[in-house]
Amino acid sequence: MRQGFIKVAALTPKVKVADPQYNKEVIIEEIKKAAAQHAKVIVLPELCISGYTCGDLFIQQILLEESVRALLEIAKFTEMIDALVFVGLPIAVDGNLYNVAAALSKGTVLALVPKTHIPTYNEFYEGRYFTPAPKTVVPARLNEDLVVPMGTDILFQCAKMPEVRIAAEICEDLWVPNPPSIRHAMAGANIIVNLSASNEITGKDTYRLDLVKGQSGRLICGYMYASAGEGESTQDVVYSGHNIIAENGRILAQSKRFVNEPVFTEFDVQMLNENRRRMNTFVSEHEGYMGIPFQLDVEETTLTRTIDPAPFVPSGEALRAKRCEEILNIQAYGLKKRIEHTNSKTAVIGISGGLDSTLAFLVTVKAFDLLGKDHKDIVAVTMPGFGTTDRTYDNAVTLIKRFGATLREINIVNAVRVHFEDIGHDENVHDITYENSQARQRTLLLMDLANQEDGMVIGTGDLSELALGWATYNGDHMSMYGVNASVPKTLVRHLVRYYADALEDKQIQSVLLDVLDTPVSPELLPPQDGEISQKTEDLVGPYELHDFFLYHMLRCGYSPKKIFRLAKVAFDGEYEDEVIAKWLQTFVRRFFAQQFKRSCLPDGPKVGSVAVSPRGDLRMPSDASRNIWMNEAEHLLEEEKEESVLDFFDKNWTQFFS
């Protein structure tokens, strides 16, 4: 429950058709199992108290009475558990029969949500028995002493965690053009439960999965779909118990079909709310809704959902290849348009033999192919300096020559020494002045060459470097079009590898693979024994951690404490807690301190959901205070120790008072 996480469960009991008392027992047993897993929202299938396939038996008064009796006994059982439970049954109200979802909590029936769309086509005959939901919330009497609200426009809101707002719809309601869940989401519901009885026919499972996944993405919500399974009548159709839980367009969990398998996971309600706040087109309409509070205890939720350690990198080889091709096209078509618009005859690019400049060069080659321009109009400049190694130099030169670009080699050592003399800097002092003088000299050369060659300078810096400010202001920070500006370092590697794998030229492929194997470095400090001495990740931290921090801070709006919690799960066994905390502090400190560099970035194409362009995605003051973020980041390990002591006390409190 803390930090916006809430554990949920979708269950399918093995029912007996038209036997509410038997079904009551198996439903209670399933709820017990879910509660033992600390599920706080539990949803069971449509009409599961009576069975969905009762047919004309729904008209029998005795079945309706027994269903209500079973409901009240299930409700009484919920006194013992800390969860909001949804179960399905038939209810007669004012002479009409309704197919409803009953919401149960702390021993009582909170409300009934009736089905809106009643299917009477193909194998479905619900219109023979059931009436569509009334237009407004009406009273429904369950017995002499209990009257509860019944209607579709009802929101269930957690009293202790008010950001959790839940609404219900039933089976067919999802399959129509205008599902009630759309209205529910606009009224504030961020979790939708669906009590369903969806039978199986060939291929229906794929469509069902896409439907749930799509609705969760469209509504920016968590969507729980619990479907009828074994035990229902197989007179004409078969039910598989296909339970699905999705969040914001992503399937978090689904059951195997035909085995009545429960599914558990956790929703990140904080993330859902953040995404909705971000979208000013997600309009809220609360009018006509009844709010009903329910109680849950706030506790730490053990995370079982997958936390991707590389959120920018698609999982699965096929999807990754598709995304790489897509990103390369976005970069290349963006550059193509800029070259056409400026009537540039050439593209000038500095090639270091490192990862970023290699990707920028490959994108430039692709843009020239799209333009039908000769590769010789790509002026590729290698600029050896104090820290250049033979390995990176040779890779840069080979790459340029094999692609047929024009090679320009300009050694910057003498020019930088003159500059040191002009400003009175000792060449033996390897400080920030020593490093940045080289970076700015290279940028000066590229800009002047672009003037000379009637061209434009192609920027090579990536998103991860921009987030950390790991760029020399008005040095490699500056260009005329930055093709890598929204590509994180973890993704740069996959783009270069994808390009390499597609090549028939084995020499170029070999160079690209060696570039991938080369430590990331600006090569501004003299090498040691011919090897790179300045390794970026030793200085600012692993890029895989920083990309993880960046994604969850900008894309999800998470605080350092929550990012730390997720990182511990994602990188379990790879990084110690102290290491994660150290580099998270570095990230927060640099992210705020270096915003001034991002405030004046050159143009560049956005390729993913996270970018730092001051014109597009990140309108952040350069002098914003980092205090509240930094304060939390600096005390992560202290809070961990405090919580572990409290957890120990909670688990062993009886020993202290015995």
Rounded distance between C-alpha atoms, residue 452 and residue 444, angstroms: 12
Rounded distance between C-alpha atoms, residue 210 and residue 176, angstroms: 14
Decide if 594 contacts 446 (C-beta within 8 A): no
Q: Which stretches of 199-284 are assigned E, i.e. beta strand?
A: 222-227, 244-247, 250-254, 263-268
191 DSSP β-pair partners: 166, 222
Decide if 173 contacts 115 (C-beta within 8 A): yes
Decide if 210 contacts 175 (C-beta within 8 A): no
- CB under 8 Å, gap of 24 or more: what pairs does 133-137 form? 133/98, 136/288, 137/290
Catalytic-labelled residue, pool 24, 30, 40, 46: 46
Decide if 70 contacts 19 (C-beta within 8 A): no
Q: Give the single-character DSSP code of 36.
A: H
Q: What number of other Cβ atoms are within 10 A of residue 119's Cβ? A: 17
Environment class of residue 622 by beta-carbon count within 10 Å: exposed (0-12), middle (13-18) or buried (19+)?
A: middle
Contacts of 286 (CB under 8 A, 6+ apart): 187, 188
H or E element that contains 437: helix 432-452
Helices (H), 279-389: 317-342, 355-371
Q: Give the single-character DSSP code of 552.
A: I
Decide if 545 contacts 570 (C-beta within 8 A): no
Decide if 191 contacts 8 (C-beta within 8 A): yes
537 is catalytic: no
Q: What is the Cα 582 distance to its own chain's centre? A: 24
* DSSP per-residue codes, 486-518: T--HHHHHHHHHHHHHT-S-HHHHHHHHHHHHS
Decide if 87 contacts 126 (C-beta within 8 A): no
Nearest to 224 by CA among 213, 236, 232, 235: 213
For β-strands 96-105 and 84-93, DSSP reports them as: antiparallel
Q: Give the single-character DSSP code of 438.
A: H
For β-strands 108-114 and 96-105, DSSP reports them as: antiparallel
Residue 633, SS3 per DSSP: helix
Rounded distance between C-alpha atoms, residue 603 and residue 480, angstroms: 7
Look at the block and give the residue holding tokens 């991860």.
464
Q: List the strands of the sheet with 222-227, edge to edge.
A: 250-254, 244-247, 222-227, 191-196, 165-170, 154-158, 290-294
171 is catalytic: yes
Catalytic-labelled residue, pool 7, 115, 336, 489: 115
Catalytic-labelled residue, pool 48, 158, 171, 324: 171
Angle at 362 between CA 360 and CA 368, to 5 degrees: 100
* DSSP per-residue codes, 364-425: HHHHHHHHT--GGGEEEEE---TT--HHHHHHHHHHHHHTTPEEEE---HHHHHHHHHHHT-
Q: Which residues are catalytic?
A: 46, 115, 171
